[in-house]
Structure 1
Amino acid sequence: MAQQVCMPRLSQTMTQGRVVEWLKREGDAVKKGEPLVSIESDKAEMEVEAPQSGILRRVLVPAGEEANVDTPLAILAGAEENIEELLTGRPQAAGVTAPPTPREPAVPGVPAAPGRRQAISPVARRVARELGVEISQVAGTGAGGLVTEKDVRAFASQGMAAPVVEAPEDAQVIPLTGLRRRIAERVSLSRRTAADVTTVVDVDVSEVAALRKESGSSYTAYVAWAAAQALREFPILNASLVEERILVKRDIHIGVAVALDQGLLVPVIRFADRKDVEGISREIDEMAARARDGQLTPDDLTGSTFTVTNSGAFGSLLFTPIINQPEVAILGMGKVADTPVVRDGAIVVRKVMYLCLSYDHRVVDGAPAVQFLQAVKRRLEQPGILPP
């Protein structure tokens, strides 16, 4: 039986996705459960399986295009099955407003006529906000005059200096797509919007090092636990800035950055303040393994209220981590190193780590930021505060 393959909802917050790649061509046979198309949301990229066996008769949304959730992307049917009804009766593409009368194609740089409602894709609207583009001034080149992400970026580039063009013959060309593109967009957004400041403190983690010999838990797990507990004392760091409102979150969900060959993912440890170090360590290990195997779902990557990232695992002493929007703070871990320190008037060697807190000064003042960092430091240095 002929069936439409529609844009899936990959997470509760997803309203639109991008077709990254069709894994089958028109005319190919497809088995039920076989990967059919790669879809990218604002959180992750996932392969979508075929809902039934059949022939990929028609691709309705090509690779690189965006579509709203539930928009038909393709038609699966038998080789001789009539699909005209599905073709003629299918809903219009995402965000398209059909014009009442034929009109000339949109001209780049020419906005919609006054009084006429402008069709804008959700991604284009978001990118316009990020780039500070007045969306009403952008002409849509999509179907029915739809303003697309490409239109917004082209409009924004008109007011910017032309990029330097390099000959690619002496360089490896890596397309800025998929996860790498999402990372680029998110860190750029953070730099453009947050008034970020970084403060650093040294932490004697010798007691944690001793505990790790028995528990087997990672330094990241101990720091995530300490941060979650300290956020109870300083909830302003467990917040987000949305338009003109500061939203202080009641629940504490810690994002833990995981480095992959293709980029960085941030799976979420939910209700981290209710878990002990062992539980957090176990979840981090499980999430990291699933990330490396490409098995994380969008929900695994959604909803963090505070992030911990560990560049010390690669030998970094200290750094200035970039805030994971829309959060207002991120805690970076440097490497653990044997360091001479003064204790009771004597020089001794202790295991020391630098913790680097970047925070959004629009929301968080310096005093609570430093006090939070000291609360984390205290929990890691004093064994009486650490869990058994």
Structure 2
Amino acid sequence: MAVKVVMPKLGMAMKEGEVSVWNKQVGDAVEKGESIASINSEKIEMEIEAPENGTLLDIIVKEGEGVPPGTAICYIGEEGEALQESENEKPEKEEQSPPQKTENKITRGIKQAAKSRVKISPVARKIAEKAGIPIETLEGTGPGGRIVKEDVLTALSAASEQKPDEDAHEEKEQKQTMTPMRKVIAERMHASLQNSAQLTITMKADVTDLLSLQKQLASAAKERFGTKLTITHFVSRAAVLALQQHPHLNSAYQDERIITYSHVHLGMAVSLDRGLVVPVIRHAEKLSLIELAKQVSESAEKARQGNMASDNLQGSTFSITNLGAYGIEHFTPILNPPETGILGIGASYDTPVYKEEELVRSTILPLSLTFDHRICDGAPAAAFLKTVKEYLEEPAGLIL
């Protein structure tokens, strides 16, 4: 009897999932545990694996189509097996003749094996296949050499520049349907700006001593806890400690009331190929520096792999975002509703600084704090940022 494969529920808040790309087509043989499709919800993308050995008998949900959790997306069974009417959610397909396999099975198997060896994101694969670009010719710039969306777009741009001159003046447009994740990001960011009074202030911290401490702790942290301590971890710890001293930044504006939290659920923004997610470190105020560092790193890795449940992407009381890796110093982070504050970390740089009468080389870390002026005035927000700066400049307090 055919096995029904359904859209999984990726967390309690998930309302709809979308099939990003089918890795198999009707009539293809599949093995148990083999990836047959990629799906994405509002904040997560993951692979769907075949529950049994068999043949892909029917595809119910097309690429780009969204359906509620529990909806059948395909059926797997024995080759030539007929689906019962109760199994087939598209009765009009019953009168159609079985798909004709015109391609040599060996040739198709070779092609599929070649594709499976190439590390490529589902979105990048879909764009490449639609554009007719062999993925084997692409060079990946993602983690571990993975081919991401930007690599395919770069290849498309390079190909268009090599076309004959008669096409040079031809205007072209590329239209893409927004993914559920992109829609949510767009809606939340627009609502954030529309429904709050956002103001950004900046400050610079001298992290020369902090970098020295980081080097001293690096080998021990890696050996004992398997964690590489980064500037982001230290800033996160400083922010958590500062929030306990300035709880007005650890609050939310809801129904004309200000809710101040005693706990710190720290949101850490993570950039993905397809958008942005914010994993939440719950009760960060109870964690030591190394415990916080481990959870931040593990959450970021799960988010990048698409293994983060949607329930772990909600409920933050304060967020941190880092654009330092891109060379950005100061910027304007957008609040993650309904939070009152979000701290941005910029790119550190070396500069000469006077310490008393002596000119010394110091490392400066730019910080950008966006806060909701309806809840917090400029002076209290500046006091919070000043406390973060003090912790970073006197880093012993971060490990005590």
TM-score normalised by L of structure 2: 0.68
Name the CA distance, whole Å, in 2 between partners of 1:260 and 1:68. 24
The percentage of aligned residue pairs carrying the same residue is 40
Name the structure where helix makes up a greater proportion of residues: 2
2:374 equivalent in structure 1: 362
Instruction: Give ranges in structure 1 of 5+ residues lacking alignment.
Output: 91-166
Structure-2 change in CA distance of 1:276 and 1:323 (3 Å):
same
1:64 maps onto 2:64 in alignment? yes
1:149 equivalent in structure 2: none
C-alpha offsets along residues 147-177 of structure 1, whole Å, 9 cap, x if unaligned?
Answer: xxxxxxxxxxxxxxxxxxxx99566837364
RMSD, aligned CA: 3.1
Higher relative contact order (CA 8 A, sep 6+): 2
1:334 equivalent in structure 2: 346
Q: Which 4+ residue blocks in structure 1 deviate beyond 6 angstroms?
A: none
1:77·1:83 contact (CA, 8 Å) conserved in 2?
no
1:8 equivalent in structure 2: 8
Counterpart of 2:290, as a letter, is: E
Name the CA distance, whole Å, in 2 between partners of 1:348 and 1:59. 67
2:43·2:277 contact (CA, 8 Å) conserved in 1?
no
2:14·2:310 contact (CA, 8 Å) conserved in 1?
no
1:254·1:268 contact (CA, 8 Å) conserved in 2?
yes
1:155 equivalent in structure 2: none
Name the CA distance, whole Å, in 1 between partners of 2:353 and 2:311. 44
Report the more deviating stretch, 305-314 or 256-265.
256-265
C-alpha offsets along residues 315-343 of structure 1, whole Å, 9 cap, x if unaligned?
Answer: 22211112223433210112222234444
Structure-2 change in CA distance of 1:387 and 1:88 (3 Å):
closer
2:264·2:282 contact (CA, 8 Å) conserved in 1?
yes
Structure-2 change in CA distance of 1:66 and 1:89 (3 Å):
closer
Name the CA distance, whole Å, in 2 between partners of 1:169 and 1:274. 60
2:330 equivalent in structure 1: 318
1:254·1:304 contact (CA, 8 Å) conserved in 2?
yes
Q: Any idea what SS the aligned residue of 1:32 has?
A: coil
Query: Shift in Å at residue 212 of structure 1?
Result: 1.0
1:27 equivalent in structure 2: 27
Instruction: Give ranges in structure 2 of 5+ residues lacking alignment.
Output: 92-167, 219-228
C-alpha offsets along residues 35-66 of structure 1, whole Å, 9 cap, x if unaligned?
Answer: 23322212212222223333333333322222
Name the CA distance, whole Å, in 1 between partners of 2:316 and 2:214. 26
2:204 equivalent in structure 1: 202
Q: Any idea what SS the aligned residue of 1:11 has?
A: coil
Counterpart of 2:288, as a letter, is: D
2:362 equivalent in structure 1: 350
2:13·2:310 contact (CA, 8 Å) conserved in 1?
no
| Aligned residue pair count | 312
Query: Shift in Å at residue 359 of structure 1?
Result: 1.4
1:44·1:297 contact (CA, 8 Å) conserved in 2?
yes
1:46 maps onto 2:25 in alignment? no
1:36 maps onto 2:48 in alignment? no
Report the more deviating stretch, 191-200 or 77-86.
77-86
1:277 maps onto 2:289 in alignment? yes
2:39·2:48 contact (CA, 8 Å) conserved in 1?
yes
Counterpart of 1:192, as a letter, is: Q
Match of 1:212 among 202, 211, 214: 214
1:215·1:278 contact (CA, 8 Å) conserved in 2?
no
Name the CA distance, whole Å, in 1 between partners of 2:315 and 2:193. 20
Counterpart of 2:29, as a letter, is: A
Name the CA distance, whole Å, in 1 between partners of 2:258 and 2:217. 38
TM-score normalised by L of structure 1: 0.70
Structure-2 change in CA distance of 1:88 and 1:40 (3 Å):
closer
Counterpart of 2:49, as a letter, is: E
Query: Shift in Å at residue 245 of structure 1?
Result: 4.8
Match of 1:267 among 257, 279, 290: 279
Q: Any idea what SS the aligned residue of 2:191 has?
A: helix
1:175 maps onto 2:176 in alignment? yes
Structure-2 change in CA distance of 1:186 and 1:168 (3 Å):
farther
Name the CA distance, whole Å, in 2 between partners of 1:73 and 1:243. 40
Name the CA distance, whole Å, in 2 between partners of 1:297 and 1:168. 47
Q: Any idea what SS the aligned residue of 1:38 has?
A: strand
